[in-house]
Amino acid sequence: MSPMSPEEVEKRIKKLRKDLEQHNYNYYSLSQPTISDFEFDMMMEDLQALEKKYPQFFDPNSPTQRVGSDISQEFKQVVHQYPMLSLSNSYSSQEVTDFMQRVEKFSGEQPDYVCELKLDGTSISLTYRDGELLRAVTRGDGEKGDDVTANVRTIRSIPLKLHGDFPASFEIRGEIVMPFAVFDALNEERIEQGEAPFANPRNAASGTLKMQNSSVVASRKLDAYFYYILGENLPEDGHFELLQHAARWGFQISPHTGKCKDIDEVLNYLSVWDKKREELPFATDGVVIKVNSKRVQEELGFTAKSPRWAIAYKFKAERVSTRLLNVTFQVGRTGAVTPVANLEPVQLGGTVVKRASLHNADIIQGLDLHANDLVFVEKGGEIIPKIVGVDTTQRNASGSAISFITHCPECGTALVREEGEAAFYCPNEDECPPLIKGKIEHFISRKAMDIDGLGSETIDLLFQQGLIRNVADLYDLKKEQLILLDRMGEKSADRILDGLKNSASVPFERVLFALGIRYVGETVAKKLAKGLKTIDALMIADITTLVAVDEIGIKIAESIVDWFSKEKHLELIARLKTFNLKFETENVVKEGSTDKLKGMSIVVSGTFSTFSRDELKADIELHGGKNASSISAKTSYLIAGENIGPSKLEKATQLKIPIITEEEYRQLTN
């Protein structure tokens, strides 16, 4: 046979790719394979041989790229176009009923709902452009995640090229899971090789996705199911209907997703799957209930942490009994002392449980725990094991009662318990080792200063060597000090020093969060940075000034004032300033910004011809206005688009709020 011409080679390669993509679609999306695994593998080998011989025809979305590469790579951070928020949890049918009643009250209608099994894996967000996979990003902290595109390409149930009439650009989110059968086989292999087995399929899936060798990821046989589509110009208003489109484009959608018209149908779905979930080939920990209509979803909007149009229902936890061996006490970063029950190992929810949280002294007292008690253990929210009861009929008369300690187990300082607080604290924040190390670990963490190269083990080593006692000491570290540490080479030392240097670009709100002031979490830090602008203003702020900041209450204000009243903290800030950390909010004046809407509260409802809703809201802020999610007497305008929510229109009319069109809004800002 005469050799093929380049044109014939290209034609053959394209034919093989197209056929293999179709067979993947038949297998994963339609569940109707038309060839054997052997035939599929032979076609793949043929394509691999041709691509290797003719590299000019390389395509990153070729089916052959699913085998992965053995070249290690660092993951870069990508900001999500749409934040990946978490869901509010519910644990009873009454909480689900309350959620649906709130939806119907605020939307002014009775929408359809979609019930989806909540898969217990790791979340992923995929971006497609012109029908090809562009990027895959992990959830991360919700605002940004790791780019794991190379690893995701190896998962056969994720389409690299789409079928049918798909949007030019969109984002789709789902869950990457490890089926039970794959998980069991992987653990058997690890045990045979003398490696520690994975605790559960979720950890195995998450750990696999973050491996830096994509060829190993390919060998792990991960699977993926998709449940949420975002973007402009989507073909349907209905979430359920959009998922049917996604299935036709090539995505694997759970066949167990159901559309429900009322509370009775939703509760029936929960009841059925609470029992049937044990038959599934992968782990689930509940059901997600969503409003079906995108229009109603947009009307309901979001809280700071979760959508108002969706809720997660967690299945009732599995309960087992085992023997309590003893109780130990751990000191956390904030000084809170947590009692931990050490148990005889027992299987619970697919994992071996050896320890359980007792939370605080009140829990111990309420349970009336004694040494060697037979206790009942559950997984709270299917995540953290906890003791929920004691079988007193099996109690040994010689078992002494468990009581909470009075002094810190690390430094011996007398514990304190503030009025209204459940936890006991060690107040010795500048001398107690776990508090010192915990504060430093918090400071370097990803959501705070995100200092590359530093981790808890390195912090522990630096502390043991007497090189650090607070976060400012990190910036005094020298290369010659670092390379003397165990397992620390020149490259690792350079990486740490570069990470410290780069942290000078971290914005003020994250620096403020990194300081570890009690009650000042990520959201509070953002509010304070926006409201007071500088660390100097925060240092002299009194209670009245602080509570005037959006969402800052008395408890938070008192904690801030107390923190800045201590000379050692003022000295710490002074030292950190010498390392050029950002201690003020940057005033970035956006092009086109005005104050034409200053002092105005504006509600946006419906769809628009020249703006997307997000663009319109951004434009309102550009001109100094404030976006509000609901109509009130303080609302300045309701901007009404197509398919406006009837309840907002009715309330605006009742309160005589000016209702304007998109064009009238343009006239306001021009």
CATH value at residue 423: 2.40.50.140
Between 418 and 484, name the one with better pLDDT. 484
Choose one of 578, 613, 638: the last residue of a domain: 578
- Structural domain range at position 46: 6-67
The residue whose two tokens read 């993951």 is: 75
What letter would DSSP give residue 607?
Answer: B
Q: What is the CATH number of the domain that holds 252?
A: 3.30.470.30
Per-residue pLDDT of 608-652, as tens digits, reads 877 777 788 888 988 988 888 788 888 999 999 887 877 788 888
| 403 and 528 part of one domain | no
pLDDT of residue 85: 85
- Residues whose CB is less than 8 angstroms from the CB of residue 589 and which lie 6 or more positions away in sequence, other chains included: none
| 412 and 449 part of one domain | no
Rounded CA-CA distance 563/574 in Å is 14
Residue 560 lies in a domain: yes
| 561 and 650 part of one domain | no
Q: Is 118 labeled as catalytic in the residue annotation?
A: yes
Structure tokens, 470: 């607070």
Active-site option among 118, 290, 527, 648: 118
Rounded CA-CA distance 462/485 in Å is 8
What letter would DSSP give residue 476?
Answer: G
Among 240-244, 246-250, 521-525, whose mean pLDDT is lowest? 521-525
| 110 and 52 part of one domain | no
What confidence category does residue 529 fall into, taking pLDDT thresholds of 50, 70 and 90? very high
Strands (DSSP E) found in 294-412: 310-314, 319-331, 337-348, 351-357, 374-380, 384-390
| 437 and 561 part of one domain | yes
Mean pLDDT (the chain, rounded): 87
pLDDT of residue 61: 76
Between 322 and 86, name the one with better pLDDT. 322
| 54 and 143 part of one domain | no
Q: What is the CATH number of the domain that holds 537?
A: 1.10.150.20
Residue 159 lies in a domain: yes
Residue 167 lies in a domain: yes
What are the C-alpha distances in Å from 278 to residues 283, 325, 651?
A: 8, 31, 47
pLDDT of residue 312: 93
Q: Nearest to residue 50, comparing CAs of 91, 6, 86? A: 6
Residue 80 lies in a domain: no
Residue 77 lies in a domain: no
Residue 40 lies in a domain: yes
pLDDT of residue 381: 46
pLDDT of residue 33: 72
CB 160 within 8 A of CB 132: yes
| 97 and 120 part of one domain | yes
Structural domain count, the chain: 5
- Residues whose CB is less than 8 angstroms from the CB of residue 468 and which lie 6 or more positions away in sequence, other chains included: 440, 459, 462, 474, 477
pLDDT of residue 40: 73
Q: How far apart are the first and last CA of the chain?
A: 72
For residue 73, pLDDT beyond 60: no
| 190 and 307 part of one domain | yes
Residue 50 lies in a domain: yes
Choose one of 578, 593, 625: the last residue of a domain: 578
| 509 and 527 part of one domain | yes
Structure tokens, 165: 């009439």
Among 47-61, 237-251, 574-588, whose mean pLDDT is lowest? 47-61
| 565 and 623 part of one domain | no
What confidence category does residue 602 fall into, taking pLDDT thresholds of 50, 70 and 90? very high
Per-residue pLDDT of 373-421, as tens digits, reads 999 988 754 456 888 889 988 888 778 899 999 999 999 999 999 877 7
Q: What is the CATH number of the domain that holds 659?
A: 3.40.50.10190
Choose one of 375, 396, 427: the last residue of a domain: 427
Residue 337 lies in a domain: yes
pLDDT of residue 375: 92
Percent of the chain predicted with pLDDT > 90: 46
Query: Structure pTM?
Result: 0.53
| 309 and 209 part of one domain | yes
**Angle at the Cα of 270 (from 306 to 107), degrees rounded to 5?**
45
| 286 and 198 part of one domain | yes
pLDDT of residue 31: 57
